[in-house]
A = this chain, B = another copy of it.
Amino acid sequence: MTSRVAELERAPDTETAILEAARDLLAEGGPDALSMRAVAARVGVSATAIYNYFENKQALVKRVIALGFERFDGYLQEAVVDRPKGSREQLRSLGEAYIRFAVENREYFRVLFAMHADLPQQIEELPEGGGYSLFRQAVADAMEAGTIRQADPDLVVLYLWTHVHGLVTLLLSCAPDARCRHSGEELKAPDLFERFRDFVYHGLQPQPERYET
């Protein structure tokens, strides 16, 4: 006789199955691939059964997106731990994690940031405590450590976020494999990110003859 907990855990848990099916369909084939009937077929249930767990398709998608942001935050979490607090390396690692998530979950990423523009405002439960606060803490640490200049932390976070977000969205929207043909050679997102780092740090001002380190 199995324990009650084991029973619960082994239970079909249709809701979870639906969410996973929806996430996979979204990640595999983009928004068009996610239909109630397709989700139901993958779960092995009739389409209308989904309505026992989600009010409608939009509610289902909203949950999937929330799960997506959790996975996204996982990438960022992994990027900060074990990196020296306040170091440029930590900041760089965050940016790289952002890019890595976008490239490794291309379709998903696209949906994450394109989809929740349609769903009007209701995504208030997402950002709190998530990636943004991670980013912000890293920036604040870097300022305190003198790694970057003093400024409004929120503004700098937004600036860096904008920078990395623009990089990946632009690449994803131009080249389906996040690649950019540039003066003959091909550059992938991480390479571009690396080349941009000098711009981000030193700016575009004409460089004085600085032969310092």
Contacts and interface: CB of A to CB of B under 8 A. Distances in A.
Interface of A: 30, 110, 113-114, 116-118, 120-121, 146-152, 154-156, 158-159, 161-167, 169-170, 172-173, 176, 180, 182-183, 192, 195-196, 199-207
A150 to B, nearest CB: 8
A156 B117 contact: no
Contacts of A110: 114, 117
Contact of A176 (B30, B117, B151): B117
Contacts of A202: 203, 205
Number of copies: 2
B206 A147 contact: yes
Contact of A173 (B113, B147, B176, B199): B113
A204 B200 contact: yes
A174 B147 CA distance: 29
Given A159-B199, A165-B166, 16 more contacts: A110-B114, A110-B117, A117-B172, A117-B173, A149-B204, A150-B206, A151-B199, A152-B183, A158-B182, A161-B166, A162-B167, A163-B163, A164-B166, A201-B205, A202-B205, A203-B203
B183 A120 contact: no
Contacts of A116: 173
Contact of A204 (B152, B156, B173): B156
Given A110-B117, A149-B207, A165 B158 contact: no
B205 A148 contact: yes
B195 A155 contact: yes
Nearest to A91: B204
A159 B196 contact: yes
